[in-house]
Structure 1
């Protein structure tokens, strides 16, 4: 692989539920299939071996194509922390690292999500081109997670997600 760089995305969200509910939504396939890189009606596969060293996989089918997201659980401390890898092999050989920390609050919990985004470089890129692509990866990831976290919030707080049309 050519050279790479990384950018770090950190997002915080509050939920009006116990930390256990948010934690389970990251580990249980029946919940993952509703929000994590997929929607319930487009999900083909949702698997999780929710232990350290275990793998997870989501396959979403949209517009005639399968989109596969996979990873490995590196650290799991219920219900407050998990560290996992994330890759989409059909797009890149890179492997991102994600950390989810869930803090209990008086009226629910707060989740802090951090993703170390690995950006592959094309040969000959200038520093300006690298910065432009890092910004695009960051903004694209932030947009995607914003949508997923809206679904996660609806799921854990109401049991349902109102998917956009």
Structure 2
């Protein structure tokens, strides 16, 4: 049976330079300030990367490889839960495209090759909007939002 996949595309405009957006994604000390995680790698094609929770345990939650990197305009990585890293079918792909627009950039994040209906697909459909909103707030104001916030009860 053929694996059914899904994808998500998110676009946001940020008052920043392509370099600042790219650095916010790839530099651990910046990513932790709006994401609560660090993206750790040497950022070379074929290298691994880890998404490390900024907490006392330093939990590695996501892993993958750098597929393509063209600073400061494009980054493509594979993406899987650390607990499923040994299963090639568990990997999806994330592409960050950064295009300059006058005094801002258009950031397009495409997350594809996700197994339809999976926990990962459900998680990224909720997670990316919060993360990208926090990235935008961080770069424009110096403060991210709480990406772990939960809805208030009615």
TM-score interval, normalised by the smaller of the two chains: 0.7 to 0.9
Q: Name the TM-score, length of structure 1 as normaliser.
A: 0.74
The aligned counterpart of 2:25 is 26
RMSD between aligned residues: 2.8
The aligned counterpart of 1:106 is 102
State the distance in 1 between where 2:49 and 2:123 align: 22
Q: Name the TM-score, length of structure 2 as normaliser.
A: 0.78
In the alignment, is the contact (CA less than 8 A) between 1:4 and 1:118 conserved in 2?
A: no
How far residue 144 of structure 1 moved from its aligned partner, in angstroms, is: 0.6
Per-residue CA shift, 1:7-37, capped at 9, x if unaligned?
Answer: 111111100111111111111111122334x
Please identify the structure whose Cα radius of gyration is greater.
1
The aligned counterpart of 2:73 is 80
Structure 1 unaligned regions, length at least 5: 120-129
- The answer to whether structure 1 residue 5 and structure 2 residue 1 are counterparts is no
How far residue 158 of structure 1 moved from its aligned partner, in angstroms, is: 2.2
- The answer to whether structure 1 residue 55 and structure 2 residue 48 are counterparts is yes
- The answer to whether structure 1 residue 89 and structure 2 residue 82 are counterparts is yes
Q: 1:59 to 1:52 in 2, by over 3 A?
A: same
How far residue 143 of structure 1 moved from its aligned partner, in angstroms, is: 1.4
The aligned counterpart of 2:143 is 160
Structure 2 unaligned regions, length at least 5: none
Q: Secondary structure of the residue that 2:81 maps to in structure 1?
A: coil
In the alignment, is the contact (CA less than 8 A) between 1:33 and 1:58 conserved in 2?
A: no
How far residue 151 of structure 1 moved from its aligned partner, in angstroms, is: 1.1
